[in-house]
Amino acid sequence: MKEIRDRYDIFLKVCETGNFSRAAEALNYTQSGISQMMAGLEEELGVQLFARIKKGVILTDNGKRLLPYVQEMVNQKDKLRQAAFNINNKVEGKLRIGSFTSVTAMWMPDVIRFFQKNYPQVEVQIFDGNYDEIRDWIIHGQVDCGFLSSIVAFDLKFYPLLEDPLCAVMPKGHPLAGKNA
Protein backbone atom coordinates (compact mmCIF):
# COMPACT_ATOMS: atom_id res chain seq x y z
CA MET A 1 0.00 0.00 0.00
CA LYS A 2 1.60 3.27 -1.11
CA GLU A 3 1.71 5.84 1.64
CA ILE A 4 0.09 9.14 0.79
CA ARG A 5 1.10 12.00 3.02
CA ASP A 6 -1.59 14.50 3.79
CA ARG A 7 -1.31 17.95 5.28
CA TYR A 8 -1.77 16.60 8.79
CA ASP A 9 1.20 14.22 8.49
CA ILE A 10 3.24 17.10 7.11
CA PHE A 11 2.07 19.39 9.92
CA LEU A 12 3.44 16.89 12.45
CA LYS A 13 6.77 16.66 10.61
CA VAL A 14 7.06 20.47 10.60
CA CYS A 15 6.31 20.45 14.34
CA GLU A 16 8.97 17.78 14.87
CA THR A 17 11.67 19.54 12.83
CA GLY A 18 10.71 23.16 13.56
CA ASN A 19 11.56 24.04 9.99
CA PHE A 20 9.83 23.82 6.59
CA SER A 21 13.10 23.03 4.80
CA ARG A 22 14.05 20.16 7.13
CA ALA A 23 10.51 18.77 6.94
CA ALA A 24 10.66 18.98 3.13
CA GLU A 25 14.00 17.17 3.09
CA ALA A 26 12.73 14.42 5.41
CA LEU A 27 9.59 13.89 3.32
CA ASN A 28 11.11 14.33 -0.16
CA TYR A 29 9.15 17.49 -0.90
CA THR A 30 10.24 20.97 -1.84
CA GLN A 31 10.32 23.67 0.80
CA SER A 32 7.80 25.70 -1.21
CA GLY A 33 5.52 22.65 -1.44
CA ILE A 34 5.56 22.25 2.35
CA SER A 35 4.99 25.97 2.81
CA GLN A 36 1.99 25.92 0.44
CA MET A 37 0.48 22.87 2.15
CA MET A 38 0.80 24.48 5.59
CA ALA A 39 -0.75 27.69 4.26
CA GLY A 40 -3.60 25.59 2.87
CA LEU A 41 -4.05 23.83 6.19
CA GLU A 42 -4.11 27.16 8.02
CA GLU A 43 -6.75 28.37 5.56
CA GLU A 44 -8.78 25.17 5.96
CA LEU A 45 -8.74 25.46 9.75
CA GLY A 46 -9.06 29.23 9.84
CA VAL A 47 -6.18 29.71 12.27
CA GLN A 48 -2.49 30.53 12.06
CA LEU A 49 -0.60 27.42 13.13
CA PHE A 50 3.01 28.57 12.87
CA ALA A 51 4.94 31.70 13.68
CA ARG A 52 8.08 32.33 11.65
CA ILE A 53 11.32 32.75 13.57
CA LYS A 54 14.92 33.22 12.39
CA LYS A 55 15.77 29.53 12.18
CA GLY A 56 12.38 28.11 11.22
CA VAL A 57 8.93 28.04 12.75
CA ILE A 58 7.29 27.48 16.11
CA LEU A 59 3.71 26.59 16.90
CA THR A 60 1.38 29.44 17.77
CA ASP A 61 -0.85 29.05 20.81
CA ASN A 62 -3.64 27.94 18.46
CA GLY A 63 -1.28 25.47 16.81
CA LYS A 64 -0.41 24.04 20.24
CA ARG A 65 -4.11 23.68 21.05
CA LEU A 66 -4.78 21.80 17.80
CA LEU A 67 -1.67 19.59 17.91
CA PRO A 68 -3.21 16.80 20.06
CA TYR A 69 -6.21 16.58 17.73
CA VAL A 70 -4.02 16.34 14.66
CA GLN A 71 -1.86 13.71 16.36
CA GLU A 72 -4.96 11.69 17.25
CA MET A 73 -6.31 11.94 13.70
CA VAL A 74 -2.98 10.74 12.24
CA ASN A 75 -2.86 7.92 14.81
CA GLN A 76 -6.37 6.84 13.83
CA LYS A 77 -5.38 6.84 10.16
CA ASP A 78 -2.37 4.67 11.04
CA LYS A 79 -4.61 2.30 13.03
CA LEU A 80 -6.96 2.01 10.04
CA ARG A 81 -4.03 1.20 7.77
CA GLN A 82 -2.73 -1.38 10.27
CA ALA A 83 -6.18 -2.99 10.54
CA ALA A 84 -6.24 -3.36 6.74
CA PHE A 85 -2.79 -4.96 6.87
CA ASN A 86 -4.02 -7.34 9.57
CA ILE A 87 -7.01 -8.39 7.46
CA ASN A 88 -4.57 -9.28 4.69
CA ASN A 89 -2.27 -11.09 7.17
CA LYS A 90 0.50 -8.62 6.50
CA VAL A 91 2.74 -7.02 9.06
CA GLU A 92 3.39 -3.57 7.66
CA GLY A 93 3.42 0.02 8.77
CA LYS A 94 5.36 2.03 11.29
CA LEU A 95 6.63 1.10 14.72
CA ARG A 96 7.47 4.27 16.64
CA ILE A 97 9.68 3.60 19.66
CA GLY A 98 10.60 6.05 22.41
CA SER A 99 14.06 5.35 23.71
CA PHE A 100 16.80 6.90 25.78
CA THR A 101 20.43 7.12 24.71
CA SER A 102 21.86 3.95 26.26
CA VAL A 103 19.01 1.76 24.97
CA THR A 104 19.21 3.42 21.55
CA ALA A 105 22.93 2.67 21.38
CA MET A 106 22.93 -0.83 22.92
CA TRP A 107 19.60 -2.52 22.09
CA MET A 108 18.03 -0.73 19.15
CA PRO A 109 20.48 -1.90 16.47
CA ASP A 110 19.43 -5.51 17.22
CA VAL A 111 15.74 -4.55 17.31
CA ILE A 112 16.02 -2.82 13.94
CA ARG A 113 17.92 -5.75 12.40
CA PHE A 114 15.25 -8.15 13.71
CA PHE A 115 12.43 -6.12 12.15
CA GLN A 116 14.28 -5.63 8.87
CA LYS A 117 14.87 -9.37 8.61
CA ASN A 118 11.48 -10.64 9.81
CA TYR A 119 9.17 -7.76 8.88
CA PRO A 120 10.70 -5.85 5.97
CA GLN A 121 7.52 -3.81 5.47
CA VAL A 122 7.72 -2.37 9.01
CA GLU A 123 9.43 1.01 9.26
CA VAL A 124 11.01 1.38 12.70
CA GLN A 125 11.27 4.98 13.90
CA ILE A 126 13.23 5.79 17.04
CA PHE A 127 12.53 8.90 19.08
CA ASP A 128 15.38 9.59 21.49
CA GLY A 129 14.50 11.41 24.71
CA ASN A 130 14.50 11.30 28.48
CA TYR A 131 12.08 9.36 30.70
CA ASP A 132 9.59 12.22 31.01
CA GLU A 133 9.56 12.89 27.26
CA ILE A 134 9.10 9.19 26.44
CA ARG A 135 6.26 8.90 28.95
CA ASP A 136 4.53 11.95 27.41
CA TRP A 137 5.05 10.59 23.88
CA ILE A 138 3.36 7.32 24.89
CA ILE A 139 0.46 9.09 26.62
CA HIS A 140 -0.12 11.42 23.64
CA GLY A 141 0.23 8.69 21.01
CA GLN A 142 3.40 10.06 19.44
CA VAL A 143 5.11 6.68 19.91
CA ASP A 144 3.67 3.17 20.02
CA CYS A 145 5.88 1.97 22.85
CA GLY A 146 8.90 3.08 24.80
CA PHE A 147 11.68 2.05 27.10
CA LEU A 148 11.17 3.45 30.60
CA SER A 149 11.95 2.83 34.21
CA SER A 150 9.00 1.45 36.18
CA ILE A 151 9.28 4.53 38.41
CA VAL A 152 7.90 6.83 35.69
CA ALA A 153 5.64 4.21 34.08
CA PHE A 154 3.33 3.85 37.07
CA ASP A 155 0.14 4.61 35.09
CA LEU A 156 1.15 2.81 31.87
CA LYS A 157 1.12 -0.86 30.93
CA PHE A 158 4.64 -1.94 31.83
CA TYR A 159 6.49 -5.10 30.78
CA PRO A 160 9.84 -5.57 32.55
CA LEU A 161 12.55 -6.63 30.09
CA LEU A 162 15.67 -6.54 32.22
CA GLU A 163 16.73 -5.90 35.78
CA ASP A 164 19.57 -3.46 35.65
CA PRO A 165 21.59 -3.37 38.89
CA LEU A 166 22.84 -0.01 40.05
CA CYS A 167 26.51 0.16 40.93
CA ALA A 168 28.54 2.76 42.75
CA VAL A 169 32.11 3.31 41.64
CA MET A 170 34.54 4.68 44.21
CA PRO A 171 38.24 5.29 44.37
CA LYS A 172 40.54 2.86 46.20
CA GLY A 173 40.78 3.73 49.84
CA HIS A 174 37.21 5.08 50.10
CA PRO A 175 35.57 3.81 53.34
CA LEU A 176 32.79 2.08 51.35
CA ALA A 177 35.03 0.67 48.59
CA GLY A 178 35.23 -2.89 49.94
CA LYS A 179 31.61 -3.28 51.08
CA ASN A 180 28.96 -5.36 49.36
CA ALA A 181 25.34 -4.21 49.30
Q: Which tens digits make up the pLDDT trace of 35-52?
A: 999 999 999 999 999 999
Average pLDDT of the chain? Answer: 85
Provide, rounded to the nearest whole percent, the portion of the chain with pLDDT above 90: 29
Arithmetic mean of pLDDT, 140-160: 81
| Model pLDDT, residue 89 | 67
- Between 88 and 156, where is the model more confident? 156
Arithmetic mean of pLDDT, 160-170: 76
- Output the CA torsion sign for 15, 16, 17, 23: negative
| Model pLDDT, residue 151 | 74
Arithmetic mean of pLDDT, 17-29: 90
- Between 31 and 177, where is the model more confident? 31
- Please, which residues have CB within 8 angstroms of residue 145's CB and are 6 or more apart in sequence? 95, 96, 97, 98, 138
Q: pLDDT-based confidence at 2, cuts 50/70/90? A: very low
pTM confidence score: 0.56
Arithmetic mean of pLDDT, 61-67: 95
Q: Which tens digits make up the pLDDT trace of 95-137?
A: 889 998 888 888 888 888 888 888 888 888 888 899 888 988 8
